[in-house]
Amino acid sequence: MPPQQLKNIGMATNLRWKAARVLRGLTQLQLADLVGRKEIEISRLETGRAQPEPHLKRRIAEILQKPAFEIFDS
């Protein structure tokens, strides 16, 4: 897959994640508190500068009340 398509896939994940967080009425700081992370870590994850571990994906999906596959690509 060309690099631009890969980037677009990541962007779609980031937008889904942010949309789910906003729909739940949570800020990055609030989500960070709920998962036991720092706000900057959530920001990096949400913008695609870092990738969450599988257990963190599950926890975030649980908090956002969405199946993990609806938020994350993998």
Give domain limits for the chain: 3-68
CA-based radius of gyration for the chain: 12
CATH architecture of the domain covering 3-68: Orthogonal Bundle (1.10)
Q: For the CA atoms of 19, 28, 50, 70, what is the dihedral angle to 10 degrees?
A: -30
- The reply to whether the predicted model has a pTM over 0.95 is no
Summarised one tens digit per residue, pLDDT across range 13-50 is 778 888 999 999 999 999 999 999 999 999 998 888 99
